[in-house]
A and B are shown apart, each in its own frame.
Chain A
Amino acid sequence: MLFKYIRLYIEFFKQNIKIMLEYRADFIIGAMASLFMQMSGIFFVWVIFKNVTTLQGWTFYDITLVYGLLMLSKSLNHIFFDNLWVLGPQYIRQGNFDTLLLRPISPLFHLIANRLQQDGIGNFLLGLVITVKSLYELNLNLGIKGVALIILFVVSGGAIFAAINLITATSSFWVVNSYHLIWTVYSVNEFALYPLNIYHKAIGIILTWVIPYAFASFYPANYFIHKGYEQLSFISPIVALVLWVIALRVWRFGIKNYTSTGS
């Protein structure tokens, strides 16, 4: 069963690559534009550190590590789960969701596999450069275990982003215009670009226990740079798992509503 889905995903993936090659120019411009946007964010941090040496005990490269990890998680979600954003307008509103329900595979899988978002690739590469550069400048000797952990953290982070988007996107089954709800919740991730301890405690609690984007950047970074939050570092994969269990329940509830109202 799982094997079949992996095989199918590869097939969908191939088709998406073909589309990407069809629109090569768009790919380059899209990647460049989002890359430029992210670079202005890093530039902001750079200028700040021309004026101070540490920010509440965090050095420039401490912060860019947090920043880079979040970018990596975020871009994984952007590349692989982008279709969730358009569930409402492109699938439910236009009736195309019915087509997904007519295939002998999971409609959620079908929805997600249907699109690969090229715009996220530039961000992923930039995030990779920033993360590697930060780790190098911080003189961290990762070893194989460290690299494996980073991959685990980034994948968990991506899964956290995707699960949160899945929960808010499921509102498309009830709400006419779900985009703004998805966007509002999603935008909270911007807090997680910087260390949580610069904010009011309440913000830290929200980012940890309510909309837990901090598990995509701040807590994993703490595993490598010890600033006193290490105890939560390893929870990231568990948080991702729990969020997906919740998200899938919400999704099933949404589907049930859809098939009983047909709207």
Chain B
Amino acid sequence: MAIIEVNDLYKEYKINQKKEGVLGAIGNIFYPRYISKVAVNKINFSIEEGEAVGYIGANGAGKSTTIKMLTGILTPTSGRVLVNGNIPYKHRVKNNSIIGAVFGQRTQMWWDLPPIETYKLIQKIYDVPKKQFDENLSTFTELLDLKELIKIPVRQLSLGQKMRCEIAAAFIHDPKIVYLDEPTIGLDIMVKDKIRNFIKNINKKRSVTVILTTHDLQDIEEVCKRVIIIDNGQVVYDGKIEEIKNSLGKYRTVHFQVKNCSNNLDNVLDTQKEYLFEVSKSPYDIQVKFDRQKITASEVMNIISPYCDIMDLTIQEPSIESIVRDLYRKQVDNNDFIKENAGNCKY
């Protein structure tokens, strides 16, 4: 029996055209004007206990609407969600007592008090036995390096420090399922790493089910084995992360700032067609997309450097948006993906 079961889940928003002012407010109650918009269009999936699943999609794809329905914040228009056998929005108390969540920039901690006070309050709210709470607290303190932080008022913490404390707050009551919405947004590499390792660790050791939405592919790659991609309210991919990494996430775009390029460069690039594609070129910069399983970034540089003075370079990882876009194209054309892209080379 899966811990999360989603069947034909459908959500249509009725957007109320709100009017300003006291009269407008009264008008809103008696004569609301609505515009409909489908946010989630009959999706299906199920998640087993202890899985770590990445749930990704572009902005407005229906990601957060799904998460809100899973957590019971939103009621579905039709279809069914079962979380541990409960309907989240109907059995709110029952469902909430087994879940934990981090929602982006919103804090669940008391702004004017140190995190430890929030943890203690959570202990009381969820009836966590004292011994278990103390054990969790000391484990998390060590893993997330919170020793100093939990005694400082939240308002004085930096974004990264706050997020580490926030993550601990989502796990401290031993939830069966934790929803993490953009837990690493805006954080530096060190903090990201700490948070990823923590999630991985807890997921493995305590078999907590983790649902992670993020824009950072690295998060998914490190934490999750499975990924669900949603676009336009529909699931466009549901499967192993390796598979998608191999077919899509293997591309990188390198961006060179150059000077004094020789005319031979064009010919050279032409001969490397197999490895380099989507080349765009102007006298001062060159953009090249490459397959990192076939060629390394330094090899790309070696190809170009004899013909140009490279002033600067940056390497871009593919964004979730571009992956989804590519996936979508792949579905429509049902063609071999690489071929299609290779054919797109323009120079």
Contact = CB atoms under 8 A, between A and B. Distances in A.
B75 A260 contact: yes
B244 to A, nearest CB: 29
Contacts of B112: 19, 22-23
Nearest to B170: A102
Interface string A95-117: 11011011111000000000000
Per DSSP, chain B at the interface is: mixed
B28 interface: yes
Contact of B96 (A18, A22, A102, A184): A102
Interface in B17-52: 18, 20, 22, 25, 28-29
A98 B68 contact: yes
Contacts of B22: 180-181, 184
A22 B155 CA distance: 12
B35 to A, nearest CB: 12
Interface string A160-185: 00000000000100111110110010
Interface string A38-72: 00000000000000000000000000000000000
B165 interface: no
Given A18-B113, A104-B97, A99 B106 contact: yes
Q: Which of B25, B97, B117, B153 has the most CB of A within 10 A?
A: B25
A153 B335 CA distance: 78
A146 interface: no
Interface residues of A, number: 33
B125 A103 contact: yes
Contacts of A101: 71-73, 92, 96
Nearest to B74: A262
B73 A262 contact: yes
Contact of B126 (A18, A94, A104): A104
Contacts of A260: 74-75
A95 B14 contact: no
A263 B18 CA distance: 11
A147 B121 CA distance: 36
A105 B127 CA distance: 11
B99 A102 contact: yes
A180 B106 CA distance: 26
B113 A102 contact: no
A17 B20 CA distance: 38
A208 interface: no
Q: Which of A23, A175, A178 has the most CB of B within 10 A?
A: A175
A180 B29 CA distance: 16
A139 interface: no
Nearest to B98: A104
B16 interface: yes
Contacts of A18: 113, 117
Interface residues of B, number: 39
Per DSSP, chain A at the interface is: helix
Nearest to B39: A262
Contact of A262 (B13, B110, B121, B126): B13
Contacts of B74: 259-260, 262
Contacts of B20: 176-177
Interface string A235-263: 00000000000000000000000011111
B16 A174 contact: yes
Nearest to B110: A15
B89 interface: yes
B93 interface: yes
Contacts of B110: 15, 19
A263 B246 CA distance: 39
Contact of B16 (A103, A178, A263): A263
A19 B153 CA distance: 10
Interface string B94-117: 101101010100111010110001
Interface in A80-136: 94-96, 98-99, 101-105
A12 interface: yes
B65 interface: yes
Nearest to B68: A262
A8 interface: yes
Contacts of B125: 8, 103-105
A190 interface: no
30 contacts: A7-B124, A8-B125, A11-B121, A15-B113, A15-B117, A19-B110, A22-B113, A94-B106, A98-B68, A98-B73, A98-B106, A99-B103, A101-B71, A101-B72, A101-B73, A101-B92, A102-B99, A103-B96, A104-B96, A104-B97, A171-B25, A171-B29, A174-B16, A175-B25, A177-B20, A181-B25, A184-B22, A261-B14, A262-B73, A262-B74
Given A11-B120, A102-B101, 12 more contacts: A22-B112, A95-B103, A99-B108, A103-B96, A104-B92, A105-B93, A171-B29, A174-B25, A176-B20, A178-B25, A259-B73, A263-B16
Interface of A: 7-8, 11-12, 15, 18-19, 22-23, 94-96, 98-99, 101-105, 171, 174-178, 180-181, 184, 259-263
Which 5 pairs between the two chains have the least Cβ-Cβ distance? A104-B97, A104-B96, A175-B25, A19-B112, A104-B93
